[in-house]
């Protein structure tokens, strides 16, 4: 069920963010270095394929199971007890335990995973022979595991995905893989051929636009503030930006050689002064089944649009731009919290 709530769109002339000394502002303008590569995997249905309305969780489960079957050499069921836990591809990608000497998240069982799944829209009921696919964003050292992802996806197709997989439906074949480059999409792998992937890189940050910037939330953005879910009428730029900044910081810390070095407190305080306008947001309910917890989990969030004043976005612009690849909020690895900037 979608409950629509429109926020007020009072026009106002924003002031520059306060609380930033000139030297701090220069530091905050520095773009974070987070190498990213987006891939497009093209598939051909061999039987009927039936996917849910939002298939991010389905793809994550299928890839995880297939990858573990592909790389596990011990047959153990509980990865943390395995001798290879700290060196195996599967735990790094799908469980992502913080390194033993990590200074962050030491009390947490997992760090953010180095990938994001972006299901193609309008790919639900497919007949044999129809083409469909899924996009895969790999972050930092995650790009080094691309071949494992491709093989896991291929094997997942042999076993079937979605409704009816237990009855022999849901099977597909991998046709080819493309990688997003500055010049467009480039084919890097064709079934049976050789993988020729391009190095990942931090996306180029374009100049800050002089006019307003529209943020379009295309998949549910699920945020919590003080343990309370952020609803359409309660969203503030500070909530959105602080969740994005934390995600980018942790991804750079655990998956790159260039941890984000900035004044986090000053940035978040400055974000308090940035107004949202022309907000057209609604709550979109979505549930997913967790095999690990054997339960249905609520994963609803915000979809829609809101506008930000470009005149005051300079300290935040590099992070906002990169977030179009990393997503923001809970469930980002399954494709939730995806947005694009419209200028």
pLDDT at 9: 35
- 3 state SS of 19: coil
The CB density around residue 279, as the number of other CB atoms within 10 Å, is 19
Report which DSSP code applies to 201. Answer: B
Q: Confirm if 272 and 18 have CB atoms less than 8 A apart.
A: no
Give Cβ neighbours of residue 89 (< 8 Å, ≥ 6 apart).
67, 71, 145, 148
pLDDT at 27: 38
Distance CA(264)–CA(249), nearest Å, equals 9
pLDDT at 227: 85
| pLDDT, tens only, 287-309 | 666 556 666 667 789 999 999 99
pLDDT at 110: 81
Angle ∠(285,54,198) on CA atoms, nearest 5: 130
Which residues of the chain fall below pLDDT 70? 1-30, 105-109, 287-297
CA proximity to 164, closest of 45, 36, 51, 38: 51
DSSP notation for 57-110: HHHHHHHHHHHHHHH-SS--S-GGGSTTTTT-HHIIIII-PPPTT-SSSTTSS-
pLDDT at 299: 76
Distance CA(153)–CA(147), nearest Å, equals 10
What pTM was computed for the model?
A: 0.87
Dihedral (Cα; 53, 56, 61, 66), 10-degree rounding:
110
**Which element (helix H / strand E) includes 276?**
none
Distance CA(290)–CA(245), nearest Å, equals 27
Which two structure tokens, joined as six digits, stand for 180? Answer: 């997003």
Which two structure tokens, joined as six digits, stand for 249? Answer: 């910081």
Looking up tokens 């054997």, which residue turns up?
294
Distance CA(195)–CA(147), nearest Å, equals 8
| pLDDT, tens only, 14-36 | 344 444 443 434 434 567 889 99
Distance CA(88)–CA(227), nearest Å, equals 34
Question: Which domains does the chain show, CATH number per domain?
Answer: 36-190 (3.30.70), 205-342 (3.30.70.1900)
pLDDT at 294: 60
CA distances from 70 to 114, 195, 254 (A): 19, 18, 24
């Amino acid at each position: 069920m979608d409950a629509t709530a429109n926020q007020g769109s009072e026009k106002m002339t924003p002031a520059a963010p306060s609380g930033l000394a000139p030297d701090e502002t220069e530091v905050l303008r520095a773009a974070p270095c987070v190498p990213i590569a987006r891939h497009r995997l093209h598939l051909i249905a061999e039987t009927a394929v039936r996917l849910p309305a939002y298939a991010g969780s389905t793809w994550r489960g299928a890839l995880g199971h297939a990858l573990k079957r592909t790389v596990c050499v011990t047959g153990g069921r509980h990865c943390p007890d395995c001798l290879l836990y700290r060196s195996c591809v599967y735990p790094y990608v799908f469980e992502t335990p913080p390194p033993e000497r990590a200074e962050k998240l030491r009390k947490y069982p997992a760090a953010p995973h180095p990938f994001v799944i972006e299901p193609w829209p309008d790919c639900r009921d497919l007949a044999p022979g129809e083409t469909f696919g899924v996009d895969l964003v790999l972050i930092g050292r995650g790009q080094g595991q691309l071949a494992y992802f491709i093989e896991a996806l291929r094997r997942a197709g042999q076993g079937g995905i979605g409704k009816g997989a237990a009855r022999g439906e849901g099977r597909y074949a991998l046709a080819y893989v493309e990688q997003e480059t500055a010049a467009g999409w480039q084919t890097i792998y064709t079934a049976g051929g050789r993988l020729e992937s391009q190095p990942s890189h931090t996306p180029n940050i374009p100049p800050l636009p002089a006019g307003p910037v529209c943020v379009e939330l295309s998949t549910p953005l699920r945020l919590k503030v003080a343990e309370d879910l952020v609803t359409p009428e309660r969203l503030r730029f500070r909530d959105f930006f602080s969740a994005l900044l934390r995600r980018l910081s942790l991804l750079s810390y655990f998956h790159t050689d260039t941890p984000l070095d900035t004044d986090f407190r000053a940035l978040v305080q400055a974000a308090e002064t940035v107004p949202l306008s022309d907000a057209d947001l609604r709550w979109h309910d979505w549930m997913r089944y967790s095999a690990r917890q054997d339960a249905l989990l609520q994963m609803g969030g915000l979809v829609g649009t809101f506008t930000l004043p470009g005149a005051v976005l300079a300290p935040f612009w590099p992070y906002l731009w990169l977030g179009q690849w990393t997503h923001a909020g809970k469930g980002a690895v399954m494709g939730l919290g995806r947005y694009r900037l419209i200028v």
